[in-house]
Amino acid sequence: MSGYQQEYLKAQTEPEAFWRDQAEQLDWFEKPKTILANDENGIERWFPDGVMNTAWLALDYHCENGRGDKTALIYDSPVTAKRQAYSYFELRDQVAKIAGMLAGMGVEKGDRVVIYMPMVPEAAMAMLACARLGVIHSVVFGGFAPNELAVRIEDAEPKVLMTASCGIEVSKVIPYKPLVDKAIMDSRWKPEKVVVLQRPESAATLDQERDVDWQTAYEAAQPHDCVPVLATDPLYILYTSGTTGKPKGVVRDNGGHAVAMKYSMKAVYDMPQDGVFWAASDVGWVVGHSYIVYAPLIHGCTTILFEGKPVRTPDPGAFWRVCQDYGVNVLFSAPTAFRAIKKEDPEGNYVNEYDLSSLKSIFMAGERLDPPTYDWVVEKTGKPVIDHWWQTETGWAIACDPMGIEVMPVKAGSSTKPTPGYQVEVLDALGNSLKANQQGYVALKRPLPPSCLPTVWRNHDRFETGYLSQFPGYYVSGDGGYLDEEGYLFIMGRIDDVINVAGHRLSTGEMEEIVGAHPAVAECAVIGIHDELKGQLPVGFVVLKDGVDIASDQLAGELVAKVREEIGAVACFKLALVVDRLPKTRSGKILRRTMRQIADGEQYVVPSTIDDPSSLNEIERVLQR
């Protein structure tokens, strides 16, 4: 039996023994006696009586064990021309003071803190400071508009919001504070304090009652120790797009998450403890949570926090420059980032300018790794390129080529095989297992391994209905795909109203709610269509109300502005087309899949249930224009 098969079978047949062994790798305050038990909702929970602290594992533990002088975090910011390295001692001490600063504001274990920050070291420190106090953080990606921030504030009800005066996007300075002020004004929940990190590129005006200057409060604060928490206590809430306008608060626990993070660093990425790991993502996304902040630090590695883009900061050599300068061993980013590099440097000339001898492998996730991008990166870098599939809900790879267990041959378009701990099956609409190569719903058999969400924040029904009730005994991933005869998994895309734009997960349902609310619009459909660079881009199709007189261009402009204002620039909603009618089934369901196939130029079969086949010609007609 191969190394992978052995490990996979052990995790499948003896999950408690398997994960007990993995838990042994961590420094618990009280080791768990119970490995797996059901909670009051009947959901499987890992290590329920274990007591620990995630910030302790990420920082103090290394300081106590002779690794305090090792570099923990490197900040590299081409947009501000700054670079700074923090040792484990330095990072621990700063995090302890930020924890003290929060405690001084009355923030206690179980309270929430929202973090809306650009890619500065203080963002990671803020997360770790919350973890230190047993406080639940909720990071909101900086590209989201005030409305999105307001929705998250209302749901998480934070005592404190932490922000910076501005973010920097290539050469554009984006003041954050006005966005925060608007979000709080629009939200029914008001944080008691807003802590603002002033950046020299654009200082913010502070409100005397509510706002706190980060630096002043930091200097006055006393360091705070790690607060013991139960493994099942939440570490963070991370909101992600679902099929409706309201994002889902994915809850991550402390213990299961730490165990999975530690396990994955070796099993998935084959990282040595003294290695340098770089996830070129943003702390606002799950990749940033897991692999910029928690996993590399828990494993004792050096992590890199990069405030820049793969291109234009200043050129398509940025990734290779960082890999060379810090001796990066594993680089992890989204395929879209490499497509952007390929577009600007098709011959790979920049790759050859840098010494990439330390780089062992390149991992990709966030969207399907398309074979042309895979081929280009392999050809230009000569490095192993590994596609791995995961979700905000799991926090780590569901399927991968586990470099630390056994390197399996790559099949382009496949994220290889289920990671030990996950039991992946492909089901038909009735929940029956499908045969090899048959496409269906990709589902995970319960129990899910450590780190996977146990609930949706303050909405357990949504967890049950959105993920568990469709196929009893399974978690439904929302992705469609198939397993081939050798057990390789091919993820073919979402089967719900979620799209992936430049590796960012967005809800077309939410965009439809915004577009449909325009006074001129009778009904609409927003679909994700193929885009060479960003993978997918949203396009809106709108039907006007009878008697409305508005020029198509004017309406399109208003709709684009509205989506940008409500969701944010990151939605990349730039095209709205007026049609006479939308293609529907006789029961009134909009045929979004067929519309997408038409837009992508794919072969399609006219659904037998269609009400008016000529409505498809209408879609073809407007797209040709």
Question: x-or-dash pattern for ligand COA, window 117-156, by CB under 6 A?
Answer: -------------------------xx-------------
Nearer to ligand COA, 481 or 503 (CB): 503
Question: x-or-dash pattern for ligand AMP, window 552-571, by CB under 6 A?
Answer: --------------------
Task: Report which secondary-structure segment, H or E, holds 199.
Answer: none
505 touches ligand AMP by CB under 6 A:
yes
Residues of span 125-184 touching ligand AMP by CB under 6 A: none
| Shortest Å distance, C-beta 230 to ligand AMP | 26
398 touches ligand COA by CB under 6 A:
no
Out of 52, 260, 311, 483, the residue judged to bind ligand COA by CB under 6 A: 311
373 touches ligand AMP by CB under 6 A:
no
Nearer to ligand AMP, 138 or 415 (CB): 415
Give me the long-range contacts of 3-12 (CB less than 8 A, separation at least 24). Answer: 3/405, 3/406, 4/402, 4/405, 4/406, 4/408, 4/417, 4/420, 7/267, 7/402, 7/405, 7/420, 8/417, 8/418, 8/420, 10/420, 11/420, 11/421, 11/449, 12/420, 12/423
234 touches ligand AMP by CB under 6 A:
no
| Shortest Å distance, C-beta 502 to ligand COA | 3
| Shortest Å distance, C-beta 241 to ligand AMP | 8
| Shortest Å distance, C-beta 393 to ligand AMP | 7
The residues facing 84 across adjacent strands are 75
391 touches ligand AMP by CB under 6 A:
yes
310 touches ligand COA by CB under 6 A:
yes
In angstroms, the CA 522 to CA 548 distance is 10
174 touches ligand COA by CB under 6 A:
yes
Tell me the pairing of strands 51-52 and 229-230. Answer: antiparallel
In angstroms, the CA 517 to CA 134 distance is 40
Residues of span 338-367 touching ligand AMP by CB under 6 A: 365-367
Task: Establish whether the linkage from the previous residue to 538 is cis, with ω within 30° of 0.
Answer: no
Q: What is the DSSP string of 18-41?
A: HHHHHHTTS--SB--S--EEE-TT
68 touches ligand COA by CB under 6 A:
no
Nearer to ligand AMP, 242 or 421 (CB): 242
500 touches ligand AMP by CB under 6 A:
yes
Q: In whole angstroms, what separates CA 52 from the centre of its chain? A: 25
* Residue 586 tokens, joined: 């006789």
Radius of gyration of the chain measured on its C-alpha atoms = 24
Nearer to ligand COA, 310 or 395 (CB): 310
Task: Report which secondary-structure segment, H or E, holds 203.
Answer: none
281 touches ligand COA by CB under 6 A:
yes
Give the DSSP letter of residue 57: I
494 binds, among ligand COA, ligand AMP, none (CB under 5 to 8 A by kind): ligand AMP
Task: Establish whether the linkage from the previous residue to 447 is cis, with ω within 30° of 0.
Answer: yes
| Shortest Å distance, C-beta 429 to ligand COA | 30
173 touches ligand COA by CB under 6 A:
no
Nearer to ligand AMP, 94 or 391 (CB): 391
Residues of span 556-575 touching ligand COA by CB under 6 A: 569-570, 572
Helix/strand/coil percent split, the chain, to 5: 35, 25, 40
Out of 286, 377, 443, 524, the residue judged to bind ligand AMP by CB under 6 A: 286
Task: Write b or e for each residue in 541-561: b if 16 or more Cβ atoms lie within 10 A of its Cβ, otherwise e.
Answer: bbbbeeeeebeeeebbebbbe
Q: Which residues bind to ligand AMP, rule: CB under 6 A? A: 240, 286, 365-369, 387-392, 415, 477-479, 491, 494, 500, 505
